[in-house]
Chains A and B, each alone.
Chain A
């Protein structure tokens, strides 16, 4: 359960101030599937980083599972990221010198898990994403779609509650992009809360709940529309 209330994020660039998030309030229930769309610079990434606790609001409240996060220090936020949140990036951000399996193992290692447990979990996760035969490949030896699947495996290795994907198909061709979305949707069906930021209307349209952002504000939210329609 995610609850944002009146979140503001303001960047100062030289003389200019950019209101990247302008009084954003948003409630997301566990297991929901959201897409966030909107023009470039409308604050989608900033919102996602805020939800992922990589960034802090200048004002407003963010409650994650009844934890008021604005009161927490950096290490406490890191611990929440470690245990509850999985990130997927447009640029994959795999570590080039590590094999696919080692990349997937990284969050488990950072969490201080024993290597025996880790190995088991890594193999399990790779096989769930159909990557078992790529375990020992370096990222450079993988296709874009495979790389993003390795990144997804890494994101879910710790069994988080929330998956945050920022333009996960942005660097992929349509076919592998669709494959990646299929994988993410399958994970959502298993109970993960899924947020996908995207430019692609086809992909954005697949989500049950669709949010559109403009100038740091939520311009539309299909959940609210539905509520209005019911009213």
Chain B
């Protein structure tokens, strides 16, 4: 029997048993829709978390002095004495195109005072890029000026809490404060963030990195924050940074690079497993649909035994009979898949409108896997009743004894 004739014949039969066929189509559709919407939820959660993290800079590398085999840990304090990271090292990193911007960071503690009010405070030396890399927001003023990082300008940006404590009701912006024995003019105040990443930004004084080095009488840096243009080139950038520093440090690999994405990729995997899990559970409904197809086809085979007997009398081979019933099941499954996809997309889209902050979307692998599962179960389960039809004794099927 030709493929086209088979399809038309099967379509006729499927269309004839309207209620039964629609029941099966809906069963398959429910499975597909369940997979699509549940995995959309998991994928949405994953994207939500990733987006949150990305705002902290997934394309961020942190360069620390000192070698450490395990990434993410602190550099060794004892043992080998690593070469310091210097401003010149930092400048050297800006010369590769794999790096979009850097912010050297130096940290110390010093007495900060305005008049008679004095606080012991964290002093952070860095450059203009720090705001962009760390995405700081100022409530008033500007951040450090975008000038040569080797210039020690006497300006500072202070945390909101520190501002309140030092200046009280008077204006801070444009006024001077004293860090140890040096005077700095306040040019900006950091917006209250509530949460802090590594430093308490509400109580910090940020000054140009060159000024901090003079203040603390050192040439070294605590770390260098490096931003790469694309996450994809993160690894490449990492190796380039190591090579640049090695060239500058007499061939020694004496730095550690921490990638912000290490944590992120853990979360990524976690959510993937979660999504796979719910997708798998939803896929069980597809298996149920397969069993339903099997049972309904069994009923159909016994109800259509005259037809089967007739087809055999007309010379249909076993294989033809089997194929007819399997094709019917496949057509039903395909219709169910189509309906399920439409419903799934509709549900996900509607939910996405309802929760715009939550990035709902069915991952394409989940949609493809659900289609594959539906087709596989629909076909495999149909083989059992189709085989029964193929083996039927034609005389008995035709209403003999």
Indicate whether A111 reaches chain B with its CB closer than 8 angstroms: yes
> B-side binding surface: helix, strand, loop or mixed?
helix
Is B316's CB under 8 angstroms from A93's CB?
A: no
* Count: A-B pairs, CB below 8 Å: 69
Indicate whether A81 reaches chain B with its CB closer than 8 angstroms: yes
Take A75-B317, A79-B315, A81-B313 as given contacts and tell me if A109 and B5 are in contact as well, using a CB distance cutoff of 8 Å: yes
Indicate whether B373 reaches chain A with its CB closer than 8 angstroms: no
Inside 8 A of A81's CB, which chain B residues have their CB? Answer: 312-315
Indicate whether B258 reaches chain A with its CB closer than 8 angstroms: no
Inside 8 A of A97's CB, which chain B residues have their CB? Answer: 12-13, 16
Is A89's CB under 8 angstroms from B398's CB?
A: yes
**Interface residues on chain B, number (Cβ under 8 Å):** 28
**Interface residues on chain A, number (Cβ under 8 Å):** 30
Give Cα A45 to B396, complex, Å. Answer: 12
Inside 8 A of A82's CB, which chain B residues have their CB? Answer: 314-316
B residues 377-401 near A (Cβ < 8 Å) are: 394-395, 398-401
Give Cα A52 to B314, complex, Å. Answer: 10
Is B317's CB under 8 angstroms from A109's CB?
A: no
Take A74-B318, A83-B315, A87-B313 as given contacts and tell me if A112 and B400 are in contact as well, using a CB distance cutoff of 8 Å: no
Give Cα A21 to B65, complex, Å. Answer: 101
Indicate whether A223 reaches chain B with its CB closer than 8 angstroms: no
Indicate whether A78 reaches chain B with its CB closer than 8 angstroms: yes
Nearest chain-A residue to B17 (Cβ)?
A97
A residues 135-163 near B (Cβ < 8 Å) are: 154, 158
Give Cα A72 to B335, complex, Å. Answer: 40
Is B395's CB under 8 angstroms from A154's CB?
A: no
Indicate whether B270 reaches chain A with its CB closer than 8 angstroms: no
Is B1's CB under 8 angstroms from A112's CB?
A: yes
Nearest chain-B residue to A98 (Cβ)?
B12
A residues 55-98 near B (Cβ < 8 Å) are: 55, 74-75, 78-83, 87, 89, 91, 93, 95, 97-98
Give Cα A24 to B12, complex, Å. Answer: 43
Give Cα A122 to B215, complex, Å. Answer: 104
Is B307's CB under 8 angstroms from A78's CB?
A: no
Give Cα A24 to B393, complex, Å. Answer: 22
Nearest chain-B residue to A113 (Cβ)?
B2
Nearest chain-A residue to B394 (Cβ)?
A54
Q: How far is the CB of B355 from chain A (nearest CB, A)?
A: 47
Inside 8 A of B310's CB, which chain A residues have their CB? Answer: 93, 95
Is A52's CB under 8 angstroms from B12's CB?
A: no
Inside 8 A of A203's CB, which chain B residues have their CB? Answer: none
Nearest chain-A residue to B309 (Cβ)?
A93
Nearest chain-B residue to A90 (Cβ)?
B399
Inside 8 A of B12's CB, which chain A residues have their CB? Answer: 97-98
Is B314's CB under 8 angstroms from A154's CB?
A: yes
Q: How far is the CB of A140 from chain B (nearest CB, A)?
A: 13
B residues 345-397 near A (Cβ < 8 Å) are: 394-395
Give Cα A116 to B387, complex, Å. Answer: 32
Q: How far is the CB of A55 from chain B (nearest CB, A)?
A: 5
Inside 8 A of A231's CB, which chain B residues have their CB? Answer: none
Nearest chain-B residue to A52 (Cβ)?
B313
Nearest chain-A residue to B314 (Cβ)?
A107
Nearest chain-A residue to B399 (Cβ)?
A91
Among B2, B315, B395, B401, which residue has the most Cβ atoms of chain A within 10 A? Answer: B315
A/B interface sample: 15 pairs, CB < 8 A: A55-B395, A78-B316, A78-B318, A79-B317, A82-B315, A89-B398, A93-B309, A93-B310, A93-B398, A95-B307, A106-B311, A109-B5, A110-B311, A115-B5, A154-B314
Q: A78-B312, A91-B399 are in contact. List 12 more A-B contacts (CB 8 A).
A: A54-B313, A74-B317, A78-B316, A82-B315, A91-B306, A93-B310, A95-B310, A106-B311, A107-B314, A109-B9, A110-B311, A154-B314
Contacts from B to A (Cβ < 8 Å): 1-2, 4-5, 9, 12-13, 16, 306-307, 309-320, 394-395, 398-401
**The 6 residue pairs across chains A and B that have the minimum distance between CB atoms:** A82-B315, A81-B315, A97-B16, A107-B314, A93-B310, A54-B394
